[in-house]
Amino acid sequence: GIQVEQSPPDLILQEGANSTLRCNFSDSVNNLQWFHQNPWGQLINLFYIPSGTKQNGRLSATTVATERYSLLYISSSQTTDSGVYFCAVLASYDKVIFGPGTSLSVIP
Amino acid sequence: DAEITQSPRHKITETGRQVTLACHQTWNHNNMFWYRQDLGHGLRLIHYSYGVQDTNKGEVSDGYSVSRSNTEDLPLTLESAASSQTSVYFCASSRISGETQYFGPGTRLLVL
């Protein structure tokens, strides 16, 4: 099956710093989503991005489907950005495969 | 506002008991999904449904069942709870195949 890798596994940032999270996937996929799981366990949709670039405030994402990777950019990080960031790929028949996540801690 | 809810939010049960977790969405989405989240495994798909009376097995379906009698609800049943089913369970829905999935708040289940 499709393998999804994320890097780095853990990241500690000073508030205000920028960061880039990476998601690699091993085969062609129909779609890709980025999620944020906050410290209370809630899963929040960030982007639905099969290809191209999208921006939402301080966050942006780029997917290059032909090269099988996606990047999530966080600019001017805030403590509320802390949590785990997952990328998930949509393989055939809506099977969503989640990556292992990047755990982000933003310290004041 | 349309939403997706799960109940209960926390549940403690004993080995061998039948447990049902509820999932309800008000978006009128066709597709609904159940996942479990465990340390070291991330989120894994248990069952999914593309519409009323349709159910399909996911990656880790053994010991679980679902039924879809209406558009809004997809209850997940653990027929005979096992300690290995201690986990956090997430329900999700999407309008049609290939579109973004929206997740509920999760249910924490502890099987003693």
pLDDT value of residue B60: 93
**Cα separation, B102 vs B80, whole angstroms:** 28
- Residue ranges in chain B whose pLDDT is less than 50: none
Judged by a CB distance cut-off of 8 A, whether residue B64 touches chain A is: no
Amino acid at B38: D
Write out residues 46-105 of A within 8 Å (CB-CB) of B. Answer: 48, 86, 88, 90, 93-96, 98-101
Confidence of residue A1 (pLDDT cuts 50, 70, 90): confident
Please give the angle made by the CA atoms of A27, B103 and B74, to the nearest 5 degrees. Answer: 100
Q: What is the DSSP letter of B83?
A: G
- Give the separation between CA B68 and CA B52, rounded to whole angstroms: 5
Query: Which residue of chain A comes nearest to B92, CA vs CA?
Result: A43
User: How is residue B81 written in tokens?
Assistant: 């709870």
Distance from CA of A54 to the nearest CA of B (A): 14
A41 → closest Cβ in B35, B100, B106: B106
Beta-bridge partners for A63: A52, A70
Q: What is the DSSP string of A52-73?
A: EEEEETTEEEEEEGGGTEEEEE
The pLDDT of residue B1 is: 66
